[in-house]
């Protein structure tokens, strides 16, 4: 009885083992293209992921700016009076229920209200000063959990200037 059962199972055993062995053999023969450049860091050989067309880090086109906070400051100085962040006021909200039970929400929005680069920079500086006064220090952890709005952008700028280790979580993910 055992031999009959074993003979019937041979096809299943072979069907399971052959793809496994084939996969192991083929996987080791593939050599993936390495992207980036070998580098020498502190006397040790290493590998950095960087565009292989450039042997050194790319220089910026913004006059010595190396970080995003520096770029934000430079943009605010250059465009102080120009509009940066636009939001619309909520005039009305309608909810419609379809025949299949799904909810649809329609928003009626008003005109845009704008914050200039200069006003945004002042808000960012005040926010950062408030965090410092509350006792927060550099390299702490922070999270932003909000809809994508002007307040979200301002908080992001503050936390990148400070700098915090930042986690961003959105309330709605499509």
Distance CA 72, CA 161 (A): 9
- Check residue 56 and give its pLDDT: 67
What's the pTM? 0.59
Any idea which fold 68-170 has?
A: Rossmann fold (3.40.50)
Domain map (residue ranges) of the chain: 2-48, 68-170
Alpha-carbon distances, residue 129 vs 24, 58, 116 (angstroms)? 58, 33, 20
- Check residue 60 and give its pLDDT: 65
- Check residue 64 and give its pLDDT: 77
- Check residue 121 and give its pLDDT: 94
Mean pLDDT by 10 residues, the chain (174 residues): 59 76 70 65 68 66 79 92 92 91 91 94 92 83 82 88 77 64
- Check residue 18 and give its pLDDT: 79
């Amino acid at each position: 009885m055992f031999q009959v059962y074993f003979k019937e199972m041979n096809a299943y055993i072979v069907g399971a083992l052959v793809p496994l062995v084939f996969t192991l053999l083929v996987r080791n023969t593939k050599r993936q293209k390495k992207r980036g450049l070998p580098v020498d860091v502190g006397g040790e050989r290493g590998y950095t992921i960087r565009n292989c067309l450039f042997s050194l880090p790319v220089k910026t086109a913004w006059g010595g700016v190396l970080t995003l906070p520096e770029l934000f400051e430079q943009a605010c100085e250059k465009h102080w009076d120009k509009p940066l962040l636009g939001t619309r006021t909520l005039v009305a909200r309608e909810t419609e229920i379809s025949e299949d039970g799904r909810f649809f929400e329609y928003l009626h929005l008003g005109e845009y209200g704008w914050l200039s680069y200069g006003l945004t920079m002042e808000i960012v500086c005040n926010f950062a000063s408030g965090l410092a006064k509350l006792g927060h220090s550099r390299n702490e952890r922070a999270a932003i959990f909000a809809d994508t709005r002007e307040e979200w952008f301002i908080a992001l700028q503050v936390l990148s200037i400070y700098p915090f280790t930042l986690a961003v979580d959105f309330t709605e993910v499509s």
